[in-house]
Amino acid sequence: MTSDDRKIKEKLKTKTWNEIKTNDSWAIFKIMAEFVDGYEKLSKVGPSVSIFGSARTKPDNPHYILAEEIAYQLTQHGYGVITGGGPGIMEAGNKGAHRGKGSSVGLNIELPFEQHDNPWIDQGKSLDFDYFFVRKVMFVKYSQGFVVMPGGFGTMDELFEAITLIQTHKIGRFPIILVDKKFWGGLFDWIKNTLLEEGNISEKDLNLFRLVDTAEEAIEHLNNFYDKYQFKPNF
């Protein structure tokens, strides 16, 4: 490689890096736009509970049926339902809210596969996001509780982010309900027997979430919490 070739190569590197920095700066405006749109639309929804779970769960799966029933019962107690807007458990949540004639919101994320809006979201209450972190802020800020059905990595991400924010007092506490003790039991045992035993969490942190098996237990825990505390934004 000649000295001229090396100079050209260095210029190309510099140009590419400068383009990246410029693109990063402009991305701020797109991020801001997603926050503004989310805040404006969700602030009008009213007290709602988010339902999380696998996008891969089929309609004949007991978890799908249970998620739909939980969503329906939530609407009968005055709550709206927020989901990730896609198929599986998310669809079940919106379907139950629609059946109960309650508010049915979908916070959809643009993905190269798997994700698409389900048909049970209210008109005008389907929001699309490019950024996972913006979407997660919306879930946490406008939810009065999390109902977490069996799911995969995305479900775990949303669950542990909420637990962490509450544990560190970055947001106000709200109910986090894990549905299906058999599914979540192994994780709970690991948290209790490993994290707690190693001194990585406090014993009181085990009270930041509740394991249940039925829709009635989930609603009861949620109502018991709000018999003591007023509805308010979490940030």
Decide: 198 and 205 in contact? Cβ < 8 Å: no
- Give residue 17's pLDDT band: very low, low, confident or very high (50, 70, 90): low
Helix (H) or strand (E) holding 93: helix 89-99
pLDDT digits (tens, 9 = 90+) for 169-180: 999 999 999 999
Handedness of CA 142, 191, 153, 93 (dihedral sign): negative
Query: Residues, the chain, total?
Result: 235
pLDDT digits (tens, 9 = 90+) for 107-117: 999 876 656 78
234 pLDDT more than 50: no
**pLDDT at residue 167 in the model:** 97
Decide: 208 and 175 in contact? Cβ < 8 Å: no
Query: Which of 51-55, 70-74, 82-86, 226-230 shows the lowest per-residue confidence on average (mean pLDDT)?
Result: 226-230
Rounded Cα–Cα distance for residues 216 and 225 (Å): 14
Q: Mean pLDDT across the chain, nearest whole number?
A: 90
Q: What is the DSSP letter of 195?
A: I
